[in-house]
């Protein structure tokens, strides 16, 4: 059996949960129930379906868009915050779609950041480009991101002119965006690529008078000499141009040259594999997954959907040993938890105050857990996706406590978002198959909340020690049935609610809850 052979059996609830945890920011119980019994191929048609562009963020004060207005120096910090909360809410409200997870992936791949770019309108346009291109053609994406105003600012493409070529973007284009640092390119290749990329500039930066943002090619600032590359690129020579279309022509030639190298599609496929499957790429995975995915990527003319389909419906992806192999990022933990309990951001045009209350809360939790949206710390992205140990970098002495306190806050009843508590544990318990049976209740809850199955010893401990606090199991049955018969009786309600709340707080702090 080849690792990339399609898994064709109808998916169990556990397999659906695994697929949705990796491809979205977490499923709801209803989504798992709805999709159980469908095949991976059927579900991927939904996950990869085109999505409409979302409505842009609104200014809380005016209720109007701000990305299409002149730059507001006075309120730039506030408008940056609105943009980040808006994106957090798009994650929270996502349909069954790969789009939001892929938008975040590309934010970590084609990196820019708010702190360096320093124009919220540029960052909105950058985010819109990421989601527009997220599931499309990689070459077209690379062409577009090279001309993106935020990228031109972030990696000094706007300063790259004939005679004083700036090599920053040319280096990262190869090292981080396409062929990878082990791809064999040379310093001369960086210099030649920089010359091919001379002449681009953004317009409208922090313009307090005009609202238009764009980028353009300036032929007079372009190096028109021929550019000769190394054997890594088959000694290709990119012919210098002096026409108005010369910049785009040379950019296309440059990317065609880079994409011809077999290492480029493999590099992108490794990035996708680590994002969706596992950080450990063994020789067997390199041979059995990465190389054939790279070949497919090339044969499909660098379309992303065929590669994602092959990977995410593969026998290898559904290998049970891979469940729990990824430590949840802050977005997976925070957004996934809020989504599971049914929190949705309201329509901003109907209730903008609650829209930003929800978005600001979610974004604040992401930032404090060290995944600041639109602000990866370096050009390499977030540390957990490039540093040794990968996902382990999300957990340290600070963030572990914050992860735990996040779960406590959701369950203690003090937090209200969009006018109500996030979690009503009694309403949830009633959706389970037999909440009067303590062991069955624990089995059902852990199956929905955890990515990996528990041992019987763990289940018994959670039932008898954590949920029941050592009372006999039959007493839970009596307490639950008493509550159901008299749901307005405060004492009877509290008897079961307190136990369920303590149990849920414990689950949120378990190591098993921290992994996907």
Residue boundaries of the structural domains of the chain:
425-514
Report yes or no: 344 and 93 within 8 Å, Cβ to Cβ.
Answer: yes
Please give the pLDDT value at position 67: 98
Cα–Cα distance between 230 and 227 in angstroms, integer?
A: 10
DSSP characters over 179-218 = S-TTS---HHHHHHHHHHTTTEEEE-TT-SS----EEEE-
Report the distance separating Cα 431 and Cα 419, nearest Å: 23
Q: Rounded to whole angstroms, how far apart are CA atoms 391 and 259?
A: 29
Other C-beta atoms closer than 10 Å to the C-beta of 478 total 12
Phi-psi label, residue 438: left if phi above 0, alpha if psi -120 to 50, beta otherwise = alpha
DSSP 348-415: TTT-HHHHHHHHHHHHHHHHHTT--TT--SBTTBSGGGTSTTGGGGG--HHHHHHHHHHHHHHHSS--
Within a 13 Å sphere around the CA of 405, how many CA atoms are in the beta-carbon half? 9
CA distance linking residue 314 with residue 289, whole number of Å: 10
Closest CA to 82 of 100, 57, 53, 118: 57
Rounded Cα–Cα distance for residues 385 and 426 (Å): 38
DSSP 515: B
Both tokens assigned to 193: 């690529």
Do 479 and 496 contact (CB within 8 A), yes or no?
yes
Cβ atoms of residues 269 and 307 within 8 Å: yes
| Torsion from C-alpha of 82, 110, 160, 121, nearest 10 degrees | -10
Tokens coding 312: 């995410």
pLDDT along the chain (516 residues), means of 10: 92 97 95 97 98 97 97 97 98 97 98 97 98 98 98 98 97 98 96 98 97 97 98 98 97 98 98 96 97 98 98 98 96 97 96 98 98 96 88 94 95 89 95 97 97 96 97 97 96 97 97 97
The distance of Cα 323 from the centroid of its chain, to the nearest Å, equals 18
> For residues 121 and 502, what is the distance between their CA atoms, to the nearest angstrom?
45
What is the rounded distance in angstroms from the CA atom of residue 251 to the CA atom of residue 221?
15
Q: Of 3, 285, 294, nearest to 138 (Cα)?
A: 294
Q: Return the pLDDT at 135.
A: 98
Give the pLDDT score at 502.
96
The rounded distance, in Å, linking the Cα atoms of 140 and 130 is 12
Joined tokens for residue 33? 């129930």
The sign one gets for the Cα dihedral 316, 322, 326, 328 is positive
The pLDDT value given to residue 1: 55
303 strand-pairing partners: 137
In Å, what is the CA distance from 225 to each residue of 29, 250, 253? 60, 11, 14
Using DSSP's 3-state secondary structure scheme, residue 93 falls into coil
As a whole number of angstroms, the distance between CA 159 and CA 166 comes to 6
Q: What tokens were used for 70?
A: 């002149």
Contact indicator for 170, 194 with CB cutoff of 8 Å: yes
Alpha carbon 71 to chain centroid, angstroms:
28
CB-based contacts of 478: which residues, under 8 Å, 6+ apart?
none
Write the DSSP symbol of residue 96: S
């Amino acid at each position: 059996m080849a690792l990339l052979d399609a898994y064709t059996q109808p998916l169990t609830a556990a397999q659906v949960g695994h697929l949705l945890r990796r491809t979205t920011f977490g499923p709801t119980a209803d989504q798992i129930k709805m999709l159980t019994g469908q095949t991976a191929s059927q579900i991927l048609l939904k996950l990869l379906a085109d999505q409409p562009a979302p409505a842009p963020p609104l200014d809380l004060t005016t209720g109007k868009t701000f990305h299409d207005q002149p730059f507001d120096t006075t309120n730039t910090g506030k408008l940056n915050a609105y943009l980040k909360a808006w994106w957090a809410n798009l994650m929270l409200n996502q349909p069954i779609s790969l789009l939001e997870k892929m938008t975040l992936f590309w934010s970590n791949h084609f990196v820019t950041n708010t702190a360096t770019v320093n124009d919220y309108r540029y960052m909105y346009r950058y985010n819109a480009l990421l989601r527009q291109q997220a599931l499309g053609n990689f070459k077209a994406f690379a062409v577009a991101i090279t001309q993106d105003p935020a990228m031109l600012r972030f990696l000094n493409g706007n300063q790259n002119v004939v005679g004083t070529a700036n090599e920053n973007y040319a280096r990262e284009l190869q090292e981080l965006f396409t062929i990878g640092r082990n791809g064999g390119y040379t310093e001369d290749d960086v210099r030649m690529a920089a010359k091919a990329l001379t002449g681009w500039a953004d317009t409208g930066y922090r313009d307090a008078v005009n609202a238009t943002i764009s980028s353009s090619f300036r032929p007079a600032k372009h190096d028109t000499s021929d550019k000769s590359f190394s054997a890594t690129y088959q000694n290709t020579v990119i012919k210098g141009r002096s026409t108005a279309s010369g910049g785009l022509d040379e950019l296309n030639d440059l990317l065609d040259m880079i994409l011809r190298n077999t290492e480029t599609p493999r590099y992108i496929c490794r990035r996708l594999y680590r994002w969706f499957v596992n950080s450990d790429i063994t020789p067997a995975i390199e041979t059995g997954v990465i190389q054939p995915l790279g070949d497919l990527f090339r044969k499909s003319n660098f379309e992303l959907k065929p590669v994602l389909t092959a990977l995410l419906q593969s026998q290898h992806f559904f290998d049970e040993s891979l469940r729990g192999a990824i430590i949840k990022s802050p977005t997976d933990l925070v957004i996934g938890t809020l989504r599971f309990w049914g929190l949705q951001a309201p329509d901003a045009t109907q209730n903008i105050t609650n829209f930003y209350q929800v978005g600001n809360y979610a974004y604040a939790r992401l930032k404090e857990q060290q995944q600041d949206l639109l602000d990866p710390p370096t050009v390499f992205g977030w540390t957990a996706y490039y540093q040794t140990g990968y996902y382990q970098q999300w957990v340290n002495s600070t963030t572990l406590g914050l992860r735990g306190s996040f779960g406590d806050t959701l369950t203690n009843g003090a937090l209200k978002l969009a006018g109500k508590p996030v979690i009503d544990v009694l309403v949830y318990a009633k959706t389970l198959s037999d909440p009067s049976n303590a062991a069955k209740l624990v089995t059902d809850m852990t199956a929905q909340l955890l990515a990996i199955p528990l041992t019987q010893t763990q289940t018994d401990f959670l039932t008898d020690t954590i949920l029941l606090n050592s009372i006999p199991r039959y007493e839970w049955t009596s307490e639950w049935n008493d509550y159901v018969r008299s749901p307005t009786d405060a004492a009877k309600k509290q008897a079961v609610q307190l136990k369920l709340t303590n149990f849920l707080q414990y689950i949120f702090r378990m190591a098993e809850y921290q992994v996907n």
